[in-house]
Structure 1
Amino acid sequence: MKILKLTLIVSASLLIAISNADAAEKQHSGWYAGASVNNSQIKIKDRDDDKTFIGASFTAGYQLSEHLALELGVSTLDISEGDGDEESSWEVRVKPIFLTPAVKWSIAASESIDLYAKLGASIAFTDSQVTNTSTGEDLEILEARSEWDVNPTFSVGAEWQLDHNWAVNAEYTYSPTALGVETEFDGSNYNDDLDLEVQSLMIGLHYHF
């Protein structure tokens, strides 16, 4: 699993780089917010190949105690794939949105580094568009959207406190995602189940208020 290997490399590099860092005062309660860049590997079940895409996520949470926090994340991806030749081709573009409420449990690895795990739900929705072209002219455009679907999600990560307010983190997330997609074409509706396996590596920056 390429994403998991990359996560281990990044986490090890992060810990080595900051092993001699000065301790920073941690906040054990209060609100925090952050943003991350995601490198997501997506595999469609029953297929042999997988694809990697770059996305973004935003997080808001409340630290209840030294070890426990409640968190809500919002992330999005812009996925496109196409094939064909000079005479005829097609392109599929999918824009999933993920809402991820979760419980976060953390433990101190040092005075400035926390290791954590998150368990929650991934509430997913997507719009998609399929465009068929021939000699540069659009033949047809099919648009589809899904209902909101709820799936489990699990994350592990490390957070380094830079100072009283700022922290950086590296996080690996696994989320099996099932979406029921409805497509309208020629006045008829077609339903299809889209089963995805999503693995993401996130590098982010948090601010504790």
Structure 2
Amino acid sequence: MFPYRILRQTHLAKQFILLSLLCYGVTHAAEQQNPAQLIDEDKPQTLITLPEAYLYMGSEIGINHYQHGCESWSIDCDKNSTMASFFAGYQFNHHLAFEVAYIDLGKAEATYLEASKQNIYQGSMRGLNLSSVASIDFGADLALFAKAGVFNWHGENKGPFSTIKADDWSPSFGVGMTYQLSDSWQARLQYEYFHHLGNDDIGGTNAHATSLGISYQFGRSRPEVITSTVINSVTNTVIKATPIELEEVTFPVLFNFDSSELFFVDSLQIIINRLIQFPQATVILRGYSDSQGSSEYNLALSKRRTDSITQYLTEHGVKPQQIIAEHYGEQYPVTDKISEQHKHLNRRVQVLLPQTIIQPQQEQR
């Protein structure tokens, strides 16, 4: 890298604050599927719907190698370092995502003999990486991906007599694999290459980082599981079937600040499927807001949010009498923390699909 110098490490708190700047209001119309009624003799069936578009956030740690970390006349050189990063992104569909990562490539150190004295030079490299990620599935849980982007690096050389700083943009490339641990948790192993970091002032290098990470995918948890079992018991003239139990399901629909406009409608398809297939079923919509603004305004805003979901459901075939709407304004917050990262969790409509027992009709032979 930079001949015999590198950059200073950044506090983890500063790294995390930069990640919170990621705008999460991106929309994507995912392909919707209309699941058929799953009923088979003597076999329990499960209806599974996982959204195709979602936000994710995670962290990773690994090893970085600075390709040109020292000059040839160094008497001691350590080009390897521990690297770490926080990342967040938006998955548009199964194959394409956009990702932002704040990366600390770690510290390197070199020793030089100058005027009969051994002097130590240190430095580190860090910055914000913007990249597009393309992936392809291999089986139900395993996927391979490739990424390309730009790295806004910030460098600092620190020696016994001076400290030099510089920053610029460089291209970055990566490949790796992911493994789905559960509906919402994903592990990944990746290699990233950063081309020509540094400049004439602090020197130049290429960086090779290999890391292991884990991420949480918001809104990708399995929103509905309907288990139904029909056992046919044949008597003289009547076929009897056991009741179908629809389990209770609850999940939030989030909104932007001071907005009632719907962005993520994938999860609403679950409500539509249940209420159209089972006219006896109902849904309860409970609207909320954050604490910014007056209580009266926030109460009205929470009502507008439930109204926007009600309108979407009725436009897609749900009967108005199946919908119960309530609004509470800034009451009952999910979290009392005041950071912007936590406030958006209170800008929501909590959807509740109550447990319902469907009594099947008996059929005469």
Question: How far does residue 150 in structure 1 lie from its aligned partner after superposition?
Answer: 1.0
Q: Which residue of 2 aligns with 1:55?
A: 83
* Structure 1 Cα separation of the partners of residues 112 and 69 of structure 2: 20
Residue 165 of structure 2 corresponds to residue 145 of structure 1: yes
Q: 1:34 aligns with which of 55, 58, 83?
A: 58
Tell me if the contact between 1:113 and 1:161 (Cα under 8 Å) persists in the aligned partners: yes
How many residue pairs match? The answer is 164
Tell me if the contact between 1:27 and 1:164 (Cα under 8 Å) persists in the aligned partners: no
Q: 1:36 to 1:60 in 2, by over 3 A?
A: same
- What amino acid is aligned across from residue 60 of structure 1 in structure 2? A
Question: How far does residue 39 in structure 1 lie from its aligned partner after superposition?
Answer: 0.6
* Structure 2 Cα separation of the partners of residues 207 and 178 of structure 1: 30
Question: How far does residue 27 in structure 1 lie from its aligned partner after superposition?
Answer: 5.3
Question: How far does residue 92 in structure 1 lie from its aligned partner after superposition?
Answer: 1.0
Secondary structure at 2:162 match in 1? strand
Tell me if the contact between 2:66 and 2:205 (Cα under 8 Å) persists in the aligned partners: yes
Question: How far does residue 128 in structure 1 lie from its aligned partner after superposition?
Answer: 1.8
Question: How far does residue 72 in structure 1 lie from its aligned partner after superposition?
Answer: 0.6
Q: 1:27 to 1:153 in 2, by over 3 A?
A: farther
- What amino acid is aligned across from residue 125 of structure 1 in structure 2? H
* Structure 1 Cα separation of the partners of residues 51 and 194 of structure 2: 29
* Structure 2 Cα separation of the partners of residues 107 and 47 of structure 1: 41
Q: Which has the higher contact order (CA 8 A, sep 6+)?
A: 1
Q: 1:110 to 1:202 in 2, by over 3 A?
A: same
Structure with bigger strand share is 1
Tell me if the contact between 2:83 and 2:209 (Cα under 8 Å) persists in the aligned partners: no
Residue 97 of structure 2 corresponds to residue 69 of structure 1: yes
Q: 2:151 aligns with which of 122, 129, 141?
A: 122
- Superposition TM-score, scaled by structure 2 size: 0.42
Tell me if the contact between 2:135 and 2:144 (Cα under 8 Å) persists in the aligned partners: yes
Q: 1:159 aligns with which of 173, 178, 186?
A: 178
4+ residue runs over 3 A deviation: 45-50
Tell me if the contact between 1:178 and 1:193 (Cα under 8 Å) persists in the aligned partners: no
* Structure 1 Cα separation of the partners of residues 174 and 67 of structure 2: 18
Q: 1:95 to 1:47 in 2, by over 3 A?
A: closer
- Mark the structure with the bigger radius of gyration: 2
- What amino acid is aligned across from residue 187 of structure 2 in structure 1? V
Q: Which residue of 2 aligns with 1:94?
A: 123
Residue 103 of structure 2 corresponds to residue 79 of structure 1: no
Q: 1:208 to 1:61 in 2, by over 3 A?
A: same
Q: 1:193 to 1:128 in 2, by over 3 A?
A: closer
Secondary structure at 1:164 match in 2? coil
Residues 54-86 of structure 1: per-residue CA shift (max 9 Å, x gap): 11111110111111100011111122223459x
Q: 1:194 to 1:83 in 2, by over 3 A?
A: closer
Residues 135-158 of structure 1: per-residue CA shift (max 9 Å, x gap): xxxxxx311100x21111110000
Q: 1:50 to 1:91 in 2, by over 3 A?
A: closer
Secondary structure at 1:44 match in 2? coil
- What amino acid is aligned across from residue 37 of structure 1 in structure 2? I
* Structure 2 Cα separation of the partners of residues 50 and 80 of structure 1: 5
Q: 1:179 to 1:83 in 2, by over 3 A?
A: closer
RMSD: 2.4
Q: Which residue of 1 aligns with 2:195?
A: 176
58-67 vs 72-81, which deviates more?
72-81
Identify unmatched segments of 5+ residues in structure 1.
1-24, 132-140, 181-190
Question: How far does residue 93 in structure 1 lie from its aligned partner after superposition?
Answer: 1.3
Q: Which residue of 1 aligns with 2:328?
A: none
Q: 1:106 aligns with which of 135, 142, 145?
A: 135
42-51 vs 166-175, which deviates more?
42-51
* Structure 1 Cα separation of the partners of residues 203 and 195 of structure 2: 11
Identify unmatched segments of 5+ residues in structure 2.
1-48, 219-365
Secondary structure at 2:201 match in 1? strand
Q: Which residue of 2 aligns with 1:204?
A: 213
Residues 77-129 of structure 1: per-residue CA shift (max 9 Å, x gap): 122223459x7321111121121100000110110011000010111111221
